[in-house]
């Protein structure tokens, strides 16, 4: 189908964009458009105006510092996927991005757009949650930095005001010896996941897990941290018993059924993805710790 | 209405479009460049893939106004003016890489991008590149074969099949 009519604005500065949002009723921000344009074509949404932020070049770029990595909201997914320095510091981004849509959609799709769309099955919100990222926004009241846990307020509901724009995501990199993995199951390559599991771990030279983060996407109304699983792993030897405990406690997550299958099915898929991700991440952490 | 000027396959074009007109509809209806196909109009099938400023994009998920001033490449620009097919088109023809041809423009434009970036792709890379392009009749195998054939032919020798 074709989109409904709307007014179109393409501001040249962030201030102008915020001002337009402030004075326009029922306006939507157009970033990469890889979800919004499809929703417009299907007439799922009827905005009165689109504010196209593709000319806000200052919102695009990747800055890597030892304590902090910052990715501008308008950075295209494909650029993040291919960035060599980011791959060096946080290789999980490339693993996750390979699962986001297809090359044609990653060429235009942005990280900020993905975060604001907040599909529970999409990879970038799950990754932001995994990394305890801060989401930076700009609005009439100035700049805010929202912890990702507060940004994710509900099913496809980002915690930002109608006149605020997400400008960047920031997070602290993990040690060079960390292990990572991002596994998901989707019906077809590039589709939204039935379940996904993202894992980061650090181990000491004896193999003891010193730090662990787990995020599960796809199964509930929002991506979720798997706190019980993190507790099971942290301080353990990362062996089969610890992994089994982490898988067992997945039952405590919020799980919804859908046309792919009921909650039992999705729980079982989530466990399989988590087993794969934990196994891979633990092995990588051991390898890198030995090399370091 | 917005006045839009862009360069398509090296030729300047101009036309007027409403804000809500997609790039795909602008190409097909306003400029009468009907080589670009529309299968789903919501970003799933890849038939509408064109190159915008050198990178592949789904033209159903872009507004025409957003392409103002852009350099666009479509399937119409692949063959030579005398009708000689682009090597990839010729390979599709030789390897039976198309039947009805509906998906072909999107397949070709996606693979043109891949081969510019990676002149000698592996079979996995080819399959990954066209993972967002749906073909309902050829069955992918001959599309992959055609791509690998042209990549091999363009190479020095011994390129990975
Ligand atoms: S018509 Fe654009 S992806 Fe199907
Ligand atoms: S050749 Fe018919 S859809 Fe691909």
pLDDT tens for each residue of A101-133: 999 999 999 999 999 999 999 999 999 999 999
User: Which atom, in ligand 1's list, is nearest to the CA of B46?
Assistant: 3
CB contact under 8 Å between B42 and A6, yes or no, is no
CA atoms of A232 and A255, how far apart (whole Å): 20
CA atoms of B19 and A10, how far apart (whole Å): 11
Q: In this structure, are B68 and B92 located in the same domain?
A: no
With CA atoms as reference, report the closest residue to A81 among A66, A102, A59.
Answer: A102
For A120, phi then psi, to 5°, come to -65, -20
Residue A261: pLDDT above 90?
A: no
Q: Two tokens at A176?
A: 């060079």
Q: Which of A141, A169, A197 represents a domain boundary (last residue)?
A: A169
Q: Which of B77, B96, B115 represents a domain boundary (last residue)?
A: B77
Arithmetic mean of pLDDT, A151-157: 96
Per the structure, the count of domains in chain A is 3
CA atoms of B129 and B135, how far apart (whole Å): 14
Residue A52: pLDDT above 90?
A: yes
Q: In this structure, are B96 and B141 located in the same domain?
A: yes
Say what the pLDDT of residue A292 is: 78
Residue A241: pLDDT above 70?
A: yes
Q: For residue A57, tell me if it sits in a domain.
A: no
Q: In this structure, are A48 and A68 located in the same domain?
A: no
CB contact under 8 Å between A108 and B22, yes or no, is no
Q: In this structure, are A159 and A184 located in the same domain?
A: no
Give buried/exposed letters for B142-156 (b at 16+ CB in 10 A, else e): bbbbbbbbbbeeeee
**Cα A33 from chain centre:** 17
Q: In this structure, are A87 and A160 located in the same domain?
A: yes
Q: Within 13 Å of residue A187, how many CA atoms lie on the same side as its CB?
A: 5
> pLDDT tens for residues A59-97?
999 999 999 999 999 999 999 999 999 999 999 999 999
> pLDDT tens for residues B51-102?
999 999 999 999 999 999 999 999 999 999 999 999 999 999 999 999 999 9
Say what the pLDDT of residue B51 is: 98
The residue whose CB lies within 8 Å of the most ligand 2 atoms, and thus the one to mutate among B99, B111, B133, is: B99
Please name the helix (run of DSSP H) or strand (run of DSSP E) that holds residue A88, with its range, or none: helix A84-89
Q: Where residue B139 falls among pLDDT bands split at 50, 70, 90? A: confident
Residues of B in contact with A52 (CB under 8 A): 63, 65-66
Average pLDDT of chain A? 96
Q: In this structure, are B123 and B67 located in the same domain?
A: no
Say what the pLDDT of residue A259 is: 82
Residue A158: pLDDT above 90?
A: yes
Domain that holds residue B49: 2-77
The enclosing domain of A24 has a CATH number of 3.30.43.10
Q: In this structure, are B69 and B7 located in the same domain?
A: yes
Q: In this structure, are B73 and B91 located in the same domain?
A: no
Residue B137: pLDDT above 50?
A: yes
CB contact under 8 Å between B60 and A37, yes or no, is yes
**Minimal Cα–Cα distance from B26 to chain A, Å?**
12
Q: In this structure, are B69 and B97 located in the same domain?
A: no
End-to-end CA distance of chain A, in Å? 55
With CA atoms as reference, report the closest residue to A79 among A96, A62, A56.
Answer: A62
Q: Which of B77, B104, B134 represents a domain boundary (last residue)?
A: B77
Helix, strand, coil distribution of chain A in percent, nearest 5: 40, 25, 35
User: Which atom, in ligand 2's list, is nearest to the CA of B136?
Assistant: 3
Per the structure, the count of domains in chain B is 2
Say what the pLDDT of residue A192 is: 80
Measured between alpha carbons, how far is residue B60 from residues A39, A80, A105 in Å? 11, 23, 11
Q: In this structure, are B9 and B73 located in the same domain?
A: yes
With CA atoms as reference, report the closest residue to A160 among A53, A15, A34, A21.
Answer: A21
Three-state helix/strand/coil letters over A160-199: CCCCCEEEEEEECCCCCCCEEEEEEECCCCCCCCCEEEEE
Q: In this structure, are A81 and A159 located in the same domain?
A: yes
Say what the pLDDT of residue A130 is: 98
Say what the pLDDT of residue B154 is: 56
> Which has the higher per-residue pLDDT, B75 or A291?
B75
Q: For residue B82, tell me if it sits in a domain.
A: no
> pLDDT tens for residues A190-210?
778 999 999 999 999 999 999
How big is chain A by its Cα radius of gyration, in Å? 19
CB contact under 8 Å between B22 and A42, yes or no, is no
> pLDDT tens for residues B9-38?
999 999 999 999 999 999 999 999 999 999
Tell whether ligand 1 has an atom less than 6 A from the beta carbon of residue B38. Answer: yes
Determine the 3-state secondary structure of A217 from DSSP: strand
Q: For residue A155, tell me if it sits in a domain.
A: yes
Say what the pLDDT of residue A1 is: 84
Q: Which of A112, A146, A169 represents a domain boundary (last residue)?
A: A169
Which residue from A minimizes the CA distance to B132? Answer: A102
How big is chain B by its Cα radius of gyration, in Å? 16
Distance A160 CA to ligand 2 centre (A): 43
Q: In this structure, are A108 and A13 located in the same domain?
A: no
CA atoms of A13 and A55, how far apart (whole Å): 8
Q: In this structure, are A201 and A119 located in the same domain?
A: no
Q: In this structure, are B6 and B73 located in the same domain?
A: yes
Q: In this structure, are A183 and A160 located in the same domain?
A: no
For A26, phi then psi, to 5°, come to 50, 50
- Residues within a 6 A CB radius of ligand 2: B 98-104, 135-138
With CA atoms as reference, report the closest residue to A240 among A206, A201, A282.
Answer: A282
CB contact under 8 Å between B22 and A101, yes or no, is no
Say what the pLDDT of residue B153 is: 67
Q: In this structure, are B10 and B35 located in the same domain?
A: yes
Domain that holds residue A115: 62-169
Say what the pLDDT of residue B159 is: 41
Say yes or no: ipTM exceeds 0.90.
yes
CA atoms of A79 and A169, how far apart (whole Å): 15
């Amino acid at each position: 189908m074709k989109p409904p009519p709307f007014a179109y604005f393409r501001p040249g500065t962030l201030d102008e964009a915020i001002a337009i949002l402030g004075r326009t009723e029922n306006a939507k921000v157009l970033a990469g458009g890889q979800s919004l344009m499809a929703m417009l074509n299907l007439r799922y949404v009827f905005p009165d105006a689109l504010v196209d932020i593709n000319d806000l070049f200052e919102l695009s770029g990747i800055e890597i510092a030892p304590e902090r990595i910052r990715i501008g909201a308008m950075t295209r997914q494909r650029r993040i996927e291919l960035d060599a320095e980011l791959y060096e510091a946080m290789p999980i981004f490339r693993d996750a991005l390979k699962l986001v849509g297809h090359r044609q959609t990653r060429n235009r799709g942005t990280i900020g757009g993905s975060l604001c769309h907040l599909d529970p099955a999409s990879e970038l919100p799950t990754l932001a949650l995994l990394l305890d990222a801060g989401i930076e926004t700009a609005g009439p009241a100035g700049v805010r930095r929202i912890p990702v846990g507060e940004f994710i307020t509900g099913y496809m509901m980002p915690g930002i005001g109608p006149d605020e724009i997400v400008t960047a995501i920031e997070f602290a990199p993990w040690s060079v010896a960390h292990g990572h993995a991002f596994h998901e199951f989707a019906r077809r390559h590039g589709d939204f996941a039935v379940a996904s599991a993202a894992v980061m771990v650090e181990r000491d030279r004896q193999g003891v897990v010193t730090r662990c983060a787990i995020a599960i996407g796809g199964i509930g109304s929002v991506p979720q941290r798997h706190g019980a699983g993190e507790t099971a792993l942290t301080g353990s030897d990362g062996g089969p018993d610890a992994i089994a405990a982490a898988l067992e406690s997945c039952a405590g997550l919020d799980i919804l059924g859908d046309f792919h299958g009921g909650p039992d099915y999705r729980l079982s898929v989530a466990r399989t993805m988590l087993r794969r991700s934990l196994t891979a991440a633990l092995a990588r952490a051991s390898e890198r710790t030995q090399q370091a | 209405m917005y006045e839009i000027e862009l360069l398509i396959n090296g030729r300047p074009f101009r036309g007027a479009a409403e804000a809500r007109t997609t790039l795909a509809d602008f190409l097909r209806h306003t400029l009468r460049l009907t080589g670009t196909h529309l299968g789903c109009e919501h970003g799933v099938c890849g038939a509408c893939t064109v190159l915008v400023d050198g990178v592949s994009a789904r033209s159903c998920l872009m507004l025409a106004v957003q392409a103002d001033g852009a350099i666009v490449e479509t399937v119409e620009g692949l063959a030579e003016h005398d009708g000689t097919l682009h090597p990839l088109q010729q390979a599709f023809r030789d390897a039976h890489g198309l039947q009805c041809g509906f998906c072909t423009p999107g397949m070709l434009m996606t693979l043109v991008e891949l081969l510019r970036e990676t002149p000698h792709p592996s079979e996995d890379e080819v399959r990954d590149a066209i993972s967002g392009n749906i073909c309902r009749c050829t069955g992918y195998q001959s599309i992959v074969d055609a791509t690998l054939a042209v990549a091999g032919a363009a190479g020095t020798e011994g390129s990975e099949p």
